[in-house]
Each structure stands twice: as structure tokens, then as C-alpha cells.
Amino acid sequence: MADLSRTAAIVGVAESDEIGTVPNKSSLQHHMEAAANALDDAGLSKSDVDGLFTAGYSTYATGDYLGIKPRFTDSTTVGGSSFIIHIAHAIAAINAGWCEVALITHGQAGRSNRAPQPADPSLPTLQYEIPYGFIGQPINYAMGATRYMHQYGEDRTRQALAEIAVSTRKWALMNPKAAMKDPMSFDDYHNSRWIAWPFHLFDCCLVTDAGAAVVVTSAERARSAKKPPVWVLGAAESHDHLGISTMPDLTSTVSRHTGPAALGMAGLTHSDIDLAMIYDSFTYTVLITLEGLGFCGPGEGPDFVAGQRTAPGGDFPMNTSGGGLSYTHPGMYGIFLIIEAVRQLRGECGERQVPDCGISLVNGTGGALSSTGTVVLARD
């Protein structure tokens, strides 16, 4: 395989103008605002863009709306991890000469959308899961957490989920863009209402309106960008099922493949990582992703996150934006993980800045724990 490590860089990142509860904006408006803001962050213009990427929508729709006619187009949609996977595809396309400036956009009025998208009844999930009420990811992921509790102990799992919810909220309080503004105590976590046992409300991500965009370009173009480039050192992607009932092991995502593959491409090990950005659709997603990526072994996640280790001041900074749990989560969240990693690597994070943040690992999870994409990012 060609060595594509450090051959392309992220040069622009941005959210849409307003995120959170934004009833007066459509999903495509969020795409547009984020695209314009990210190109401005990169010091590039629409005419520079020749590669277009999105998920959920087709690039037909975003290209039409934005007035962009790409020579490389990619609408890979495998849930919230898609945008991290787009980074891998962008590197490949740039190195193949199929595009030079890749624009990845996302927009989702997850909270205020006027009509949900209809689903295809021939999908096995529609036939065999939905009639039983397997509707919405809290219910699907909760079944994963129950299985984990059975295998590794209910009390220590519960404590781990609480540690993750509480530590993530602490980071959110230092992010002005975060939806959640109030502190969360362990009691607040344990007393929050049941959504789908074993999940409390505070095990579950937010549902917001938000857009985001990322600009990736060649090493040569990156050198003349407005801000310091953030290099892509490693990238990997995979998926192993559609609905939760066909997940081979409900306690292990394909991060067990993408983590080692992305680190291997980067030529790095776990101890090199200064910042972990781990998709927190649910507290449980984080727990098993840390294990899958190899930061700890199967069943060791509860010990790994104990004692607020992932909180501000802890020795394993994680999800410093406040995550999907407390910052924003419009339905597919992965692109927001990249934005925070880039800002941390540029040193733009003010109060929540991780000192000496040189290397970040970003892992997205999509669907019903179905797909993951991992990238390893670094500053110069």
C-alpha cells in the first residue's frame, strides 16, 4: 500500500453560524453556512474546491445548493462516522490527482427538521427490528450496554458510564458553543430519568441543529493556507453490521480494526496520543471504543476511565468540546470531532486548551455501533 501518511492536511474547519436549537434554518442552510465558514478559515474560495463530500444527503444536493461542480464526488453514508471516513477518501483522491481541495460538509436540523426522511421497507431492520420498537439509537445501544454489564459487571460498568457523562460535561462548561451550560454531579447522572434501561437520560447524546465543514488539501497547497496545517498521519475505516441484532459482538466495535490500522499508518502508539476525540453518541460508545482502539483491553474500560481521568486536569484528555453528550449532536456527529481536534492542535481552545497538544486520535462510530472511522492528526 502506498504510504499516504502526512501527504495531505486539514486547513479549514467550522461549524454553521448557530448550533443548538435553530428552528429557522434547514439542514442545507447549515451545510452552506459551515462550508462558507470553513473555506474562510482555510483562506480558500468556492472556486478552489474540486472535491465534494457529504453524508446523509447526496453530494448532488449539496453541490447543487452550493453551486459546486466537483471532479471528485463522495456521498459515503455509514452513519455519524462517515465524515471521518471522508478524510481517508480525500487523502486517497488528492494523492491520485482526482482533486486538490476537498470540501466535506454536514448539516442537520436534527431537532427542528420539519419532516423525517422515510425509510426503505425492504431493509432488514425495517422488517425485523422496527416492528418490535428497535427505533432510535438509545434503544439499540442500550442492548449493547446490558450485554457488557452481563460480561464485565453491572456496578463497575454503571460507574464508568457516570464517569464519562460527568467528565464530558466539565469540558462542555468551557466551550461557549456547547448546548449544556450547567454542571452535572454524579448524583445528577444517577437521578436522571430512564430512557431505555440501562441508559439514563445523561447516558444519551443531545439532539441539536448544527452544520460543520472541513477542508482537506494537498501538502503543497496546505503550506500556503491561512492557518497552520493539521496533518493526517493515519486513517482507517470499517463496518460489520447494519442493525444491532446482527452485530457480531455487542461489546466490541470495528474500532478494534480501525484503531490499530490508523495508528500503524501513522507509525505511532497509544502513548503518543495527546488528545482522544471519541464519538460519544452514548456513554457506552466511549467505553467500548477505548477498548476497541486498544487504549485498554476488553472489559478494562471501567478501570481506564475511573477517577475522572478523562476530565479537565486528568491525564487522558478526551472529548474536550463537551462531546455529543454536552456540546452538540444533530444526528450524525463525527465531523464535529475533527473540528475540535484541529482547533486543539492549532492551540485555539482558550480555557479548555490541552497543553502541548501535538497529536490527536479521532474515532467516529456510526449506525447501531455499526461502522467506525479513525484518523490520527498532528500539527507541524
Partner 1 sequence: MTQQPYSKPLPTPQPESDFYWEKTREHELWLRSCNDCNQAYFYPRDLCPDCFSRNTTWVQASGRGTLHTFAIVHRAPTPAFRDDAPFVVAIVDLEEGPRMPTNLVDVEPDPSAIHVGMPVEVVFDDVTEEITLPKFKPAG
142 binds partner 1 (CB under 8 A): yes
Strand partners, 366: 371
Minimum distance, C-beta of residue 299 to partner 1, in the bound complex (Å): 15
129 binds partner 1 (CB under 8 A): yes
| Residues catalogued as catalytic | 279, 327
Q: Quick one: which of 91, 85, 84, 48 has its CA closest to 66?
A: 48
Q: Quick one: which of 370, 322, 368 has its CA closest to 138?
A: 368
12 binds partner 1 (CB under 8 A): no
Strand partners, 20: 209
Q: In the set 95, 112, 192, 246, which binds partner 1 (CB under 8 A)? A: 246
327 in Cβ contact with 337 (< 8 Å): no
Minimum distance, C-beta of residue 73 to partner 1, in the bound complex (Å): 31
Q: Quick one: which of 334, 305, 306, 303 has its CA closest to 321?
A: 334
118 binds partner 1 (CB under 8 A): no
Strand partners, 14: 213
Residue number, 10 or 149, with CB nearest to partner 1: 149
**What would the grid cell of residue 270 be?**
497509544
Residue number, 89 or 241, with CB nearest to partner 1: 241
130 binds partner 1 (CB under 8 A): yes
Q: By rule CB under 8 A, what string of x and - marks binding of each residue 77-116 to partner 1?
A: ----------------------------------------
Amino acid at 128: Y
Residue number, 186 or 194, with CB nearest to partner 1: 194
Q: In the set 117, 132, 313, 351, which binds partner 1 (CB under 8 A)? A: 132
Binding piece for partner 1, criterion CB under 8 A, among 9-17, 60-68, 245-253, 349-357 = 245-253
Q: In the set 97, 131, 176, 355, which binds partner 1 (CB under 8 A)? A: 131
304 in Cβ contact with 296 (< 8 Å): yes
370 binds partner 1 (CB under 8 A): no
Q: By rule CB under 8 A, what string of x and - marks binding of each residue 170-209 to partner 1?
A: -----------------------xxxxxxx----------
- Cα dihedral 135, 323, 306, 365, rounded to 10, equals 50
Minimum distance, C-beta of residue 119 to partner 1, in the bound complex (Å): 9
Calculate ∠ Cα 369-370-371, nearest 5°. 110
Sheet of strand 359-366, all strands in order from the earlier edge strand to the far edge = 72-74, 51-54, 101-109, 209-218, 8-15, 230-239, 371-378, 359-366, 275-278
121 binds partner 1 (CB under 8 A): yes
Minimum distance, C-beta of residue 93 to partner 1, in the bound complex (Å): 31
Distance CA 153, CA 140 (A): 20
Q: Is 44 exposed, middle or buried (0-12, 13-18, 19+ CB in 10 A)?
A: buried
Residues that bind partner 1 (CB under 8 A): 121-122, 124, 126-136, 138-139, 142-147, 150, 193-199, 243-246, 250
